[in-house]
Amino acid sequence: MRILLATTAIALLASPALAETRPLSGFTKISASAGTRVEVGFGSNFLVDVEGRDAARIVTRVSNGTLVVEPVRGWSWRGPRNAIVRVTMPMVEALDASSGAHIEATGVPGGALSLDASSGAALDVAGACSSFNADASSGADIDAEALRCETGSVSVSSGASAHVYATGRLDVDASSGGDVVAFGNPGIGDIELSSGGSLRRR
């Protein structure tokens, strides 16, 4: 009996991660919060899959054109959440990550894009866009040097950082230790650096 129980326990530990497909569509924006992880790809149809041991504790809903990703209320968080949300969508207008959340988007197909990261969150974005507006604050990080854009505006503050790419005009506002690294040899338009904020070119 002990051998049987031990074998069953090992089998459970080795079992594949749970996966759920959520019937959600009609969104052009994504907002993730509270340590959740989201991977975004692009295609003609909508698809939202949640994978991992904690999949049932991740809430996904669409509100005013935004896919909201958040943990269930009252879930005590110690360590990383064991779940990842994989999203396919036709196009994207905005990505918003807060409170330690992480959104990774690859193959952005173009258009104007808003990027917002706050409170230790992270955005990793690759693809193309006509223009972007990026805002990072409170230790957050935006890594968008692989997002090839024509023009953009970037604002960083409170120890946050943003790596961005533009070939045309780039407006910059960096304060309170915020750091902007600009790729693509953009022409700098409006610029404001204060309280240890910095701009570097690569």
- Give domain status of residue 8, yes or no: no
The tens digit of pLDDT for each residue in 42-77 reads: 999 999 999 999 999 999 999 999 999 999 987 665
* pLDDT number for residue 140: 98
Is the pLDDT higher at 146 or at 18? 146
* pLDDT over 70 (residue 13): no
* pLDDT over 50 (residue 4): no
The tens digit of pLDDT for each residue in 133-178 reads: 999 999 999 999 999 999 999 999 999 999 999 999 999 999 999 9
- Give domain status of residue 165, yes or no: yes
The tens digit of pLDDT for each residue in 85-99 reads: 999 999 999 999 999
Question: Range of 197's domain?
Answer: 17-201
- Give domain status of residue 3, yes or no: no
- Give domain status of residue 2, yes or no: no
- Give domain status of residue 86, yes or no: yes
- Judge whether 201 and 160 are in contact, CB under 8 Å: no
Q: What is the mean pLDDT of the chain?
A: 91
* pLDDT number for residue 18: 81
List C-alpha distances in Å: 16 to 4, 10, 13, 21, 52: 20, 12, 8, 16, 8
Tell me the Cα Rg of the chain: 19
Q: What is the DSSP letter of 80?
A: -
* pLDDT number for residue 29: 99
Task: Give me 192's structure tokens.
Answer: 């404001």
CB under 8 Å to 107, separation ≥6 — which residues? 41, 42, 126, 127
* pLDDT number for residue 142: 99
- Give domain status of residue 115, yes or no: yes
- Give domain status of residue 6, yes or no: no
The CATH number covering residue 33 comes to 2.160.20.120
* pLDDT number for residue 79: 59
- Give domain status of residue 4, yes or no: no
Q: How many structural domains compose the chain?
A: 1
